[in-house]
Amino acid sequence: MATTKQIWMMAAAAMVLGMRAAWAGDLQTAQPSAAKAPAATAANREIVVSVEDRKLALVENGQVVKVYSVAVGKASTPSPVGTFSIKRRVANPTYHHDGKTIPPGPGNPVGTRWMGLSIKGYGIHGTNEPKSIGRAASHGCIRMAKADLEELYPLVEVGDTVEIVGQRDEETARLFGTGLTPAGAAQIELAAKSAAPAVTAAAKDAAVAAEARVPATQRSAEAAAAAIVTGAL
């Protein structure tokens, strides 16, 4: 049976342990909590295709990351216009169509990458006809050159928005530059060529008039100097 002295010693020990536990709790509460790192904000990513410009832009948070030349649908099989999304991403796809199966390789019509859209049967892909890039030549899909396609592929994800614009508007003018349609640019070039003969004729007339105002003695000296230089060559 414990003596009175032992009982007091056990009580004192319990009191000390309790105080230590309380101090530890106070210290833990007083420690500043580590600041939580802000969650990374996902980029607002979008692919914009201008059928009229035959260009594709990768846009993140409203800023153009890269612009690529592409082939779009020809008149008989136009590219679909509207807002879609990427549904599938396939590297080195096998091509199936009309009972034909073409394995990955140089002869594959969709190239080395396929980004299928939310509209069935259409996608962004490569081509085994690189000369078609920049033209209205596809069956409605968006074709890209191999190097461009393989650069774009890892930069986009399933779920990203794809906007295909049929006619040039303010958005495509901002993304792709000059604001001129290919037809408009061609018209300006044609007008410049048509004006060239008139400009040349006017320049010749001005030169003749300027020559008439030069004193005869100066013209003779200039002619002699020209003859010497010509002979030296």
Distance CA(108)–CA(200), nearest Å, equals 52
Catalytic one of 96, 97, 125, 139: 125
Instruction: Using DSSP, state whether 52 is helix, strand or coil.
Output: coil
Q: Any catalytic annotation for residue 141? A: yes
Six token digits for residue 195: 């004006």
Beta-bridge partners for 60: 45, 63
Distance CA(156)–CA(143), nearest Å, equals 16
Q: What is the dihedral of CA 96, 98, 102, 106, to 10 degrees?
A: -100
Catalytic one of 96, 97, 139, 141: 141
| Beta strands 63-73 and 136-138, pairing class | parallel
Q: Any catalytic annotation for residue 139? A: no
Contact in structure between 81 and 164 (CB atoms under 8 Å): yes
Instruction: Give the catalytic positions in this structure.
Output: 125, 141
